[in-house]
């Protein structure tokens, strides 16, 4: 397939990055659907079935836990690539240097002025996008920590199928989320408890959903206004920029 004259192809995502992206997309859909059911069951089973054959809540909890494990794995990979990727170094874009802050401001102005002002290079990832994705992964990290705290709370005996070391480690890593959640939801007067963690986990889910909505909107917006094929990056890995653009 020939490329339109006056444009050049720029690689933006490697195959591994695209796989992680789509794994996270489908995992998030399952996590939200099952999480909403766990919080407030919103559909019924066939009442004619025998009770012994119905484990709807159990299956939802199992599915939620499985995709949480997938998120754990992809988060570790993303955290590694954030600092050590040979393709690009996203951490350099989130450092509050004058150059990065100026670029962040210019990208923001480009958005609010509907592309009437564009004084930055859109060939590669910009500071605005890098900071925005950092916020997403921080939210996701908080979801994972609070989720593990709720999980270990269910191991009241202090034992697990793989030994006592597992709940001990989870308590050591996540117990502080009770205090943080209590402060976040404003219930410090009653003392930190697991319910604060549940509320914080649920509220953070809605923040993640808001993030996703804006992310999709912004990618479509960039594709329409910049005319560089940004939305195709997560499929083919490339975008297309004008060859007469300033570097």
Question: For position 98, what pLDDT does the model report?
Answer: 95
Q: Of the candidates 103, 114, 123, which has an alpha carbon nearest to the alpha carbon of residue 245?
A: 123
Q: Is residue 247 part of a domain?
A: no
* Cα(70)–Cα(229) distance, integer angstroms: 29
Domain-located, residue 179: yes
- pLDDT given at position 246: 47
Let me know if residue 119 belongs to a domain.
yes
CATH number at residue 68: 1.20.950.20
Residue 206 inside a domain? The answer is: yes
Query: Would 147 be classed as within a structural domain?
Result: yes
- Host domain of residue 123: 7-238
- In sequence order, the β-bridge partners of residue 10 are 239
Tell whether 245 is covered by a domain: no
At 50 the pLDDT is 62
How many domains, the chain?
1
CA 145/CA 151 separation, integer angstroms: 10
Q: What is the pLDDT of residue 46?
A: 61
Neighbours of 73 (CB within 10 A): 11
Query: Are 38 and 61 contacting, i.e. CB atoms less than 8 angstroms apart?
Result: yes
Please give the pLDDT value at position 108.
Answer: 95
**242: phi then psi, degrees, rounded to nearest 5:** -65, 140
Determine contact, residues 236/9, Cβ cutoff 8 Å: no
Whether 205 contacts 67, CB under 8 Å: no
Position 102 scores a pLDDT of: 95
Tokens 């407030």 belong to residue:
40
Please list the pLDDT of the chain residue by residue as tens digits (247 residues). Answer: 455 677 888 999 999 999 999 999 999 999 999 999 998 888 776 655 665 567 888 899 999 999 999 988 998 898 888 888 888 888 999 999 999 999 999 999 999 999 999 999 888 889 999 999 999 999 999 999 999 999 998 887 778 888 888 889 999 999 999 999 999 887 766 677 889 999 999 999 999 999 999 999 999 999 999 999 999 999 999 998 887 644 4
- Residue ranges of alpha helices (H) inside 175-193 are 176-185
Distance in angstroms between the alpha carbons of the first and the last residue of the chain: 26
pLDDT for the residue numbered 247: 41
């Amino acid at each position: 397939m020939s490329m339109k004259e006056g444009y050049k192809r720029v690689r933006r995502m490697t195959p591994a990055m695209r796989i992680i992206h789509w794994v996270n997309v489908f995992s998030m859909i399952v996590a939200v659907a099952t999480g909403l059911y766990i919080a407030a069951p919103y559909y019924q089973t066939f009442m004619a079935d025998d009770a012994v054959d119905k484990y709807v809540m159990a299956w939802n909890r199992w599915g939620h836990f499985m995709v949480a494990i997938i998120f754990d794995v992809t988060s570790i990979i993303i955290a590694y690539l954030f600092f050590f990727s040979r393709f690009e170094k996203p951490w350099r874009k989130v450092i509050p240097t004058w150059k990065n802050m100026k670029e962040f401001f210019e990208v923001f102005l480009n958005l609010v002025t509907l592309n009437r002002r564009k004084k930055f290079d859109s060939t590669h990832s910009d500071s605005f996008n890098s900071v925005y994705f950092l916020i997403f992964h921080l939210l996701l990290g908080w979801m994972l920590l609070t989720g593990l705290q709720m999980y270990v709370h269910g191991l009241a005996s202090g034992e697990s199928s793989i030994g006592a070391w597992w709940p001990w480690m989870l308590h050591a890593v996540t117990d502080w989320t009770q205090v943080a959640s209590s402060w976040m939801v404003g219930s410090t007067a009653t003392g930190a408890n697991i319910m604060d963690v549940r509320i914080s986990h649920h509220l953070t889910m809605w923040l993640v959903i808001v993030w996703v909505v804006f992310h999709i909107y912004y990618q479509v917006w960039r594709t329409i206004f910049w005319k560089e094929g940004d939305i195709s990056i997560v499929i083919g890995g490339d975008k297309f920029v004008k060859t007469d653009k300033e570097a």
